[in-house]
Amino acid sequence: MRILVLCTHNSARSQMAEGWLRYWAEQLKLPAEIWSAGTEKTFVKPDAIAVMGEVGIDLSAHTSKTLYDLPDPWNFDLVLTVCDSAAENCPAYPAQTQKLHVSFPDPSGKGLAEWRRVRDALGRMSQGLIQSLTQGQVPSEQDLAEAAGLTQAR
């Protein structure tokens, strides 16, 4: 399975989601190739590297990428956008590509407590996504948002 996480700059949310998805895929033994990219590239924010390091996920070698920096960028089984701008600017993928959108707040400039809150929400969402995929299911956006703690449970 090939999974792509898209955000605007590939500097924070998508990088943290990639780290979490790789972690949960390994833990739950889901064979997956996981990538992140942005509609633009900048740099991976030091706060993203720091807060992910606190939970044992090393992003220090990650770089900010655009879709066009990836190998075979149009061949993904699932594309997950984690910010509204990326969802609006997401390129068209083939019909067989599953597309999901869950919007996470941008923690930039809001202190480490907010970075940790977004990190943990991305971790919960990533765990829920990988658990569903290991069962051969693609969860709904609502289920992922609820797993992340971004909405009230139904």
CATH number for position 10? 3.40.50.2300
Which residues of the chain, if any, have pLDDT below 50?
Answer: 154
Report if residue 154 sits inside a domain.
no
Domain count, the chain: 1
Cut 0.85: pTM above it: yes
Per-residue pLDDT, 154: 46
Active-site residue flag, 108: no
Of residues 3, 17, 67, 83, which has the active-site annotation? 83
Per-residue pLDDT, 88: 66
Residue 106: which domain range? 2-148
Active-site residue flag, 19: no
Report if residue 153 sits inside a domain.
no
16: closest CA among 67, 53, 42? 53
Q: Please give the C-alpha separations between residue 140 and each of 56, 104, 116, 146, in angstroms, as whole numbers.
A: 28, 16, 25, 10
Q: Per the structure block, which two tokens stand in for 132?
A: 């569903």
